[in-house]
Amino acid sequence: MTARIWIALSLSLTAFLAGGSLPALATAQAGLAAVVSGRVIPAGGDDVRGVRVFARQGALSDSAEVDSAGRFSLVLPSVATDSLELWVDGGAPGTAAFHPARLRLGRAELAREQEIVLVPLRWTIQAGRYATHQVDVRLARAFSRPCASCTGFFRGLAARADSGRTGLQGWPADRFPLRVAFDREWNGEKVSPGDSAAFWRETDELEETLGADVFRPANLPDAAPREDGGPNDVILVWFDPDMGGIGGIGTAVSEGEDIGYGDLRLNRAALRGDVTTPGLVSHELLHTLGFGHTCAWRSVVADVRRCPYLRASSATEDDVAYVELAAEIRSLLRERHGRWALEAALAAMDAPPAPAVAVRSEAGR
């Protein structure tokens, strides 16, 4: 995996740096030089020493290695063309720790610092059943769609039409553990002690696998409606007698990237006795956390219609690794004010990114 990325990156950078040197032009145009600066922020906290940033503007190019804090500064002429291409490698060949990143920045964008979250090539699971296990991170797999109208495990959200920004749907970190309430009022369906026990037994197993307190029981009256009539910051669980052969449907309702509430419909028969569907509750709860189906690895959220042979009865180490990675990226973008992350890594991949996640800065529109 790492070797393939570096072969492609080396070829790209050979062509990328074929132009002239920016410092020479900056010297010739004394007083007109400008800089593009920023920092790289490592998801997972790996050492960024050895990471190098490359800039290209027309036939001119410049590069600089980031310092121990991840900061960089490149010299370029202020009489710039409309856009600048920025590459970040993943580290020294053979020892790279991160996916490379690529950005195209508009002229107005250059005035601010570029904070770029680097996606690791391998993720070490932090907690739970698979703690300390390492999983290869392949973004093409995480975003891979089981069908043309499906999302992947990662549901990429464009922040604004044609902005090129890619966010991940998720709950704000301060909402955990999430409230979970059985809705006995929507259709009058009763929830027996056996129903509740079966649901919470598998919920507890998912929490143990993740190594985190994710859910907590709540009473329906405490889930006060919001101004728009929707439930407030809660996952509502209810039994639907009209689901036929469908075991469950989990939904995350959001405005933008932040999930406001979840809805989980269950087929009662799927939770009863010998006909219990292994992994059903974990599958649907992961949907309410913002994750989609996948056919890219063995998973508790494998698409049962398109790749039933990949369906696991509980969350797998790949599931846990990508769940943790998503939480880390969301946290870094918010708490450390990172600006770019997944879209930059996707743009640097061998194949062109999907149109919905093509990199283009907002100021360059």
Using CA atoms, how far residue 105 sits from 30, 55, 102, 360, in Å, is 24, 10, 10, 7
Give the pLDDT score at 275. 52
Q: pLDDT for 15-56, tens place per residue? A: 444 444 444 333 334 445 557 899 999 999 999 989 999 988
Number of other CB atoms surrounding residue 283 within 10 Å: 27
Contacts of 145 (CB under 8 A, 6+ apart): 151, 152
pTM for the structure as a whole = 0.84
Q: Average the pLDDT over each of 126-130, 248-252, 349-353 and give the range with the smallest value.
A: 349-353
Write the pLDDT tens digit of every residue in 320-341: 999 999 999 999 998 877 889 9
Segments of 169-293 assigned E as strands:
178-182, 215-217, 234-239, 248-255, 258-266
Contact of 268 with 274, CB cutoff 8 Å: no
Report the helix count and the strand count for the chain, using DSSP H and E.
Answer: 7, 17
- Which pLDDT score, from 0 to 100, does residue 83 have? 77
Is a pLDDT exceeding 80 seen at residue 93? Answer: no
| Cross-strand partners of 179 | 216, 234
Structure tokens at 215: 């859910």
Q: Does an H or E element contain 5, and which?
A: helix 2-16
What does the pLDDT look like over 236-294, one tens digit per residue? 999 998 888 889 999 999 888 899 999 999 988 887 655 557 899 999 999 999 999 99
185-242 pLDDT per residue, tens: 767 788 889 899 999 999 999 999 999 999 999 988 877 666 666 677 899 999 998 8
Predicted pLDDT at 127: 98
Pairing of strands 248-255, 258-266: antiparallel
Residue 13 — pLDDT band, cuts 50, 70, 90?
very low
Nearest to 41 by CA among 256, 257, 331, 322: 331
> Given the structure tokens 């492609």, which residue do they identify?
8
Burial of residue 240 (CB within 10 Å: 0-12, 13-18, 19+) is: middle
Q: Which residue has the higher pLDDT, 5 or 45?
A: 45
- CA-based R_g, the chain, Å: 23
Domains of the chain by start residue, with CATH? 2-122+337-364 (2.60.40.1120), 173-289 (3.40.390)
CA dihedral sign, ordered 48, 296, 172, 344:
positive
Q: Examine the pLDDT at 364 and tell me if it is beyond 50.
A: no
